[in-house]
């Protein structure tokens, strides 16, 4: 579900009023431009493929996997038909191959119902996703933010968020969970929007290398 203009305006008004640091950051970064991903299945595939490798390598493997499925759409039905050897040749590791197979099986036997998952609460979504091998809580939280457009998600253990909090709030070290949650309490119920600005804060220090409107892998 896309963020409505009213939701974004309400979120920005709230963040500016509650948090002077966020108010200054919003002024520096500019408009909120996150657009939720429409293809929920493919976002999860991309998340699995990107684990523990560089973004560049992940995108290369993703492109080769997508080419194997083409001209069909990248669905569970079509991906599961691709032979293991061909996926391995595309750069998919044995472990990630098992994860992809498990994801496909969860979708195909309806244990994971991606079309209806938006009807669930945030925590129910997380519980549904982490049953799939290779999907942990962080990936589930990214799914909430970038696929379902949930407004109040705070991945406190995300390295980029912790780095941004350290820099923006002049902390001596990367914040622990308690400190991160304390800061984020100011943002509720719009933590997702604040997190997007935290991620964008790194773009102020170096040339932007990702599309800020989309899930970055």
User: 5-35+152-204 has which fold?
Assistant: Endonuclease Iii, domain 2 (1.10.1670)
What CATH superfamily classification does 40-146 receive? Hypothetical protein; domain 2 (1.10.340.30)
Contact by Cβ (8 Å): 47, 217: yes
pLDDT for the residue numbered 1 = 66
Q: Counting beta carbons within 10 angstroms of the beta carbon of residue 160, is it exposed (0 to 12), middle (13 to 18) or buried (19 or more)?
A: middle
Q: Closest by alpha carbon to 210, among 24, 149, 199, 92?
A: 199
pLDDT for the residue numbered 116 = 96
Q: State how far the Cα of 210 lies from the Cα of 115, in Å rounded to an integer.
A: 27
pLDDT tens digit at each of 217 positions of the chain:
678 999 999 999 999 999 999 999 999 999 999 988 999 999 999 999 998 888 889 999 999 999 999 999 999 999 999 999 999 999 999 999 999 999 999 999 999 999 999 999 999 999 999 999 999 999 999 999 999 999 999 999 999 999 999 999 999 999 999 999 999 999 999 999 999 999 999 877 665 555 667 666 5
What are the domain boundaries of the chain? 5-35+152-204, 40-146
pLDDT for the residue numbered 144 = 96
Q: How far lies 97's CA from each of 77, 212, 213, in Å?
A: 15, 29, 29
- In angstroms, what is the C-alpha Rg of the chain? 18
pTM of the full structure: 0.90
pLDDT for the residue numbered 55 = 82
Long-range contacts from 8-13, C-beta under 8 angstroms, 24+ separation: 8/32, 8/193, 10/190, 11/151, 11/190, 11/193, 12/193
């Amino acid at each position: 579900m896309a963020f409505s203009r009213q939701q974004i305006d309400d979120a920005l008004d709230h963040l500016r009023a509650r948090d002077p640091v966020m108010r200054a950051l919003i002024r520096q970064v500019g408009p909120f431009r996150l657009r939720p991903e429409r293809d929920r299945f493919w976002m999860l595939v991309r998340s699995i493929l990107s684990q523990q490798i560089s973004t560049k390598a992940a995108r290369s493997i993703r492109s080769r996997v997508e080419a194997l499925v083409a001209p069909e759409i990248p669905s569970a039905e079509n991906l599961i038909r691709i032979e293991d050897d061909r996926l391995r040749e595309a750069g998919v590791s044995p472990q990630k191959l098992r994860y992809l197979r498990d994801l496909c099986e969860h979708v195909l036997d309806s244990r994971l119902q991606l079309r209806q998952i938006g009807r669930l609460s945030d925590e129910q979504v997380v519980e549904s996703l982490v049953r799939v091998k290779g999907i942990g809580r962080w990936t589930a939280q990214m799914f909430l933010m970038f696929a379902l457009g949930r407004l109040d998600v705070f991945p406190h253990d995300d390295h980029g968020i912790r780095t941004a909090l350290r820099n923006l709030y002049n902390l001596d070290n990367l914040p622990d969970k308690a400190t991160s949650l304390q800061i984020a309490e100011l943002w509720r119920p719009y933590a997702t929007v604040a997190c997007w600005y935290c991620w964008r804060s790194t773009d102020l220090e170096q040339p932007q290398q990702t599309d800020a409107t989309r899930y970055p892998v």
